[in-house]
């Protein structure tokens, strides 16, 4: 699976959009981009995934660049409950084991 690079931490203001970047320059054509988050002392929670098209669900939007070498997770209106570690993961098969990197520790401030 391709390696991902994320900033270690970022702050954002409550009510504003949070844009979380992820680089995956070695991604191959059949690999998906998955996003999970982990709130303190809980298991990871699935957020969204995509292959090459932009995706949106009730939690977030995923923007994947045309060359697929990077992506951005957008939380449209961050709340205090969105404070968590966000993981960007690239994997080749649906339901396959996931390899977690360091993630981005997001702190939403009032």
Partner 1 sequence: GAVVSQHPSWVICKSGTSVKIECRSLDFQATTMFWYRQFPKQSLMLMATSNEGSKATYEQGVEKDKFLINHASLTLSTLTVTSAHPEDSSFYICSASFNSPLHFGNGTRLTVT
Q: Does 100 bind partner 1 (CB under 8 A)?
A: yes
Q: Does 46 bind partner 1 (CB under 8 A)?
A: yes
Could you tell me the two tokens for 12? 């954002």
DSSP for 18-50 reads EEEEEE-TT--TT-EEEEEEE-TTS--EEEEEE
Q: Which is nearer to partner 1, 29 or 95 (CB)?
A: 95
Question: Rule CB under 8 A: which of 48-77 touch partner 1?
Answer: 49
Q: Does 41 bind partner 1 (CB under 8 A)?
A: yes
Q: Does 80 bind partner 1 (CB under 8 A)?
A: no
């Amino acid at each position: 699976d391709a390696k991902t690079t994320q900033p270690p931490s970022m702050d954002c203001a409550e009510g504003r959009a949070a844009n979380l970047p992820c680089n995956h320059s070695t991604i191959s054509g059949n690999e998906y981009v998955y996003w999970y988050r982990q709130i303190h002392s809980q298991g990871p929670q699935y957020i969204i995934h995509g292959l090459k098209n932009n995706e949106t669900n009730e939690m977030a939007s995923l923007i994947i660049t045309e060359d697929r070498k990077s992506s951005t997770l957008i939380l449209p209106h961050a709340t205090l409950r969105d404070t968590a570690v966000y993981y960007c993961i690239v994997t080749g098969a649906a339901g396959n084991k996931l390899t977690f990197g360091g993630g981005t520790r997001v702190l939403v401030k009032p």
